[in-house]
Amino acid sequence: MTDLSIPSMTAHPILPSRNEDYGFFRTLTTCPQRDRCSAEVWVLASIMIADATCADSEDEMIGIRDFLDSRIGRHFADDVVGNMTGCNIGLETAIAGTIRRWQDWRISRQSEREDGIPAGLPYLTGWVQHFAVAAAMAESD
């Protein structure tokens, strides 16, 4: 793991991507504006998401990894890249802005019906929790 000198609330390790050909990892790998290697971007985003969602368990860290590896994680990455290119800002600021926006959005009743995420939760927190629960359920099978 790379030391980014960013304090993190979580004592759990940052899990590497299991889907480098898609999701957040791939989108940021192909972004020419990023100012560090893809693995460092992954760690930075994971730490910042863990802090924003108050992730404090291994299951929640799995949820963050699976969220970033997912289709939804690719959309998150698209927002980060859009912030960097459209606002001409650095990577860390772009990730922070995307986290703030996604935390301001709320899970809709439609998402609650379709995905089982409780309506009203902050969007980012809801999706991280969704992937954490899905991973825990798959592990228990």
Predicted TM-score (pTM) of the model is: 0.90
Average of per-residue pLDDT across 79-93: 94
CA gap 46, 139 in Å, rounded: 22
**What band does 97 get if pLDDT is binned at 50, 70 and 90?**
very high
Residue-wise pLDDT for 11-61, tens only, equals 689 999 999 999 999 999 999 988 899 999 999 999 999 999 999 999 999
Count Cβ atoms within 10 A of the Cβ of residue 72 and give its class: 0-12 exposed, 13-18 middle, 19 or more buried: buried
**What band does 140 get if pLDDT is binned at 50, 70 and 90?**
confident
Q: For 89, left (φ over 0), alpha (ψ -120 to 50), or beta?
A: beta
**What band does 9 get if pLDDT is binned at 50, 70 and 90?**
low
